[in-house]
Amino acid sequence: MCGISGLYEYRDQRPADAHLLAGMLNDLQHRGPDDTGVHIDGALGIGNRRLSIIDVAGGQQPMANEDGQVVVVSNGEIYNFRELSARLRQRGHRFQTVCDTEVLVHLYEEDGPACVEALRGMFAFAIWDAKQRQLFLARDRLGIKPLYYFDDGQRLIFASEIKAILRHPDVSVALNPQALSYFLSLKYVPAPETMFADIRLLPPGHTLICDRHGVRTQPYWDLVFPETRGPQRSEAAYAEELEALLRESVRLRLMSDVPFGAFLSGGVDSSTIVALMSQMLDKPVKTFAVGFDGPAAGASELPFARMVADHYQADHHEVFIRAQDLINLAETVVWHQDQPIADEACLANYMVAHLASQHVKMVLTGEGGDELFAGYARYAWERLSPVFSRLPRAAKSLALAASQRLPGLRRPKLALYALCQADEAARMSNWFPLCNTRLKPALLSDEMRQSVPLGMTEAWFAKLLDQTSATTPLNRMLYVDTKHWLPDDLLARGDKMSMAASLEARVPLLDHQLAEFAAALPPHLKLRGLTRKYLLKKVCEPWLPPQIIRRKKQGFPIPMSEWFRGEARAFLRDHLSPATIRRRGLLNPDTVETVLQQHDSGFADYGSLLWGLLNLELWHRVFLDRPPAAPAPPVLRA
């Protein structure tokens, strides 16, 4: 795992600024504290910060081919590199290392930009083709590794994190109004947008080519849902193939020359990973979990994590979060995020990653199971949409009005509001919003409301739905979640928070072959009645305690709502004061005050929204008000 960055003065071919590149790499030091390297070729400069995992002694980057004309910097891991290197050796290529990165230069020599199609792994890399004077960038199929870029028609600047790009004097830190609108709807900013007006995020499964003619991006992969009507295999046959794919995916991700472990929440996904690791290794798996101190302890998942750890006699470690950690670390978390992500689990991810980094350099995690195998409640709720579509408009209005007068009940309110939207794209945009389409216009300031079309999120969902081959409602939801919710929230959070601790996080459930298998599964093997992740649970049943299979999904249940009414209330109020909101000019201070008061009183649960607004304010302070500076590491309580 690494951080990469580079710049190419492609228009006028002026010499690349080596001093600037060195500064960009310094901004990525947390991603790769073990080593650094650069390659300068006239107008081109690329560099790397390395976290040594495979071939610790010989895997320094940048790496070049035999004649030095093809040079690569890479972030991530290529899990099938041994198979690829054997094939390339048969074709006459000479390897200088046993590192997975070297495969990329020789594969590029053979296949050019099509080299990405042979890769199995998580990656974001840049290849310089000196003969063609061409820079080639690529991002993995599911978006596990990030790759940001800036293009002003004169130069291309890229990096693993936005903060490195901001070091260039020609890059503006201006806010992107469209991204703000997306953020308030979704809790995150979807690729290719970012919260910075001039910076883009290369979407998952895309490549970018930059030469004298400019910059162009192109997709090379998409998640296809076959949904064939022909004869289907038996459930047992699907289960057998799923088990084989799970085992292979975990086995591939155990390749490491350094100590490793696993994040363990006690949910089905992370527990399955720990179960398979325990079956494959001859020593206890090091597991890492997060819980809460004080009144919030009841919301903790630790009893389930301990159950699995005890079941497999794991070397188990825990860290506890308090409201004071939110106060102390919120700004640091936002610095590492690069842009607002209103996901409360970022704080938990950050702290458990720092705990793990005290013991290992790499962990396996459980992200992806819910999006591939239908693990969220909204997939079951969506089945009611045909019923709601037949209700008279007056009945829908009455139900909505009644729900808004009920205190609390955030999730049922969200579900009811979404189901009352007749249009599919409108429903999608309301299933997990930071604020729904009713609240959002009131939340924006007059100026922002005039500069951002309020229907743009629904239009974005409609465009996304038009792209998929899926026809069933379930698979269409899974496609949307896999294309954006997964990479732009969950994986962005996982990458940034693990890299903040110089920790590599591998995601076995997001092997692209496993994802393609899940997409081809009949819908009833993902969601059967009210049983979510049906086939995955069936396969995992022999490996896990029954309480884990039957338990209700929680995620990282951080008690933000309670903290914002208690110990963190003054901190929140200070950051979201009417004077501060008015000075920013983005939000309506009266609406923000109403949200704060209704949350304080317990009439409504606005914990997620308030965390999002706090994220937004902290992002302003860290990135727009002053140059971003690296924060100090946290003090952990195990």
Q: Are 198 and 150 within 8 A, CB to CB?
A: yes
Residues 242 and 150 in one domain: no
Domain end residue (candidates: 169, 187, 219):
219
Residues 149 and 247 in one domain: no
pLDDT band at 630 (very low <50, low <70, confident <90, very high): low
Residues 175 and 296 in one domain: no
Residues 196 and 265 in one domain: no
Q: What is the pLDDT of residues 35-92, one digit of tens each?
A: 899 999 999 999 999 887 766 766 788 999 989 999 999 999 999 999 999 999 999 9
Angle at the Cα of 266 from the Cα atoms of 235 and 379, rounded to 5 degrees: 50
CA distances from 601 to 295, 408, 566, 605 (A): 18, 10, 11, 9
Residues 202 and 254 in one domain: no
Sequence-separated (6 or more) residues with CB below 8 Å from residue 560: 326, 344, 607, 608, 610, 611
Q: Is residue 457 a part of any domain in this protein?
A: no
Q: What is the mean pLDDT of the chain?
A: 91
Residues 248 and 197 in one domain: no
pLDDT above 70 for 464 = yes
Overall residue count recorded for the chain in this entry: 638
Domain end residue (candidates: 533, 550, 567):
550
Domain end residue (candidates: 159, 189, 219):
219
| CATH, residue 183 | 3.60.20.10
| DSSP letter string, 70-103 | EEEEEEEEETTHHHHHHHHHHTT---S-S-TTHH
Residues 103 and 158 in one domain: yes
Q: Is residue 536 a part of any domain in this protein?
A: yes
Q: Is residue 83 a part of any domain in this protein?
A: yes
Q: Binding site for ATP: residue ranges?
A: 290
pLDDT band at 427 (very low <50, low <70, confident <90, very high): confident
pLDDT above 70 for 605 = yes
pLDDT above 70 for 541 = yes
Strand partners, 74: 125
Residues 500 and 363 in one domain: yes
Residue-level pLDDT at 415: 59
Q: Are 623 and 340 within 8 A, CB to CB?
A: no
Q: What is the pLDDT of residues 444-461, one digit of tens each?
A: 999 999 888 778 888 999
Q: Which of 2, 115, 210, 435 is catalytic?
A: 2
Residues 271 and 206 in one domain: no
Distance from C-alpha of 188 to C-alpha of 612, rounded to nearest angstrom: 9
Q: Is residue 227 a part of any domain in this protein?
A: no
Q: 13's torsion region: left (phi>0), alpha (psi -120 to 50) or beta?
A: left
Q: Is residue 336 a part of any domain in this protein?
A: yes
Q: What is the pLDDT of residues 63-77, one digit of tens each?
A: 999 899 999 999 999
Residues 239 and 367 in one domain: yes
Q: What is the pTM of this model?
A: 0.94
| CATH, residue 519 | 3.40.50.620
Q: What is the pLDDT of residues 277-292, one digit of tens each?
A: 999 999 999 999 999 8
Sequence-separated (6 or more) residues with CB below 8 Å from residue 193: 176, 178, 179, 182, 200, 201
Residues 150 and 199 in one domain: yes
The mean pLDDT value for 178-192 works out to: 95
Q: Binding site for L-glutamine: residue ranges?
A: 100
pLDDT above 80 for 539 = yes
Q: Is residue 382 a part of any domain in this protein?
A: no
| DSSP letter string, 155-174 | -EEEESSHHHHTTSTT----
Q: What is the pLDDT of residues 321-372, one digit of tens each?
A: 999 999 999 999 999 999 999 999 999 999 999 999 999 999 999 999 999 9
Residues 244 and 369 in one domain: yes
Q: Is residue 384 a part of any domain in this protein?
A: no
pLDDT band at 419 (very low <50, low <70, confident <90, very high): low
What pairing do the DSSP bridges indicate for beta strands 121-129 and 70-78?
Answer: antiparallel
**Active-site residue flag, 540:** no
Residue-level pLDDT at 530: 84
Residue-level pLDDT at 378: 86
Q: Is residue 598 a part of any domain in this protein?
A: no
Q: Binding site: residue ranges?
A: 100, 290
**Domain hosting residue 155, numbered range:** 2-219
How many folded domains does the chain comprise? 2
Q: pLDDT exceeding 90 applies to what percent of the chain? A: 76
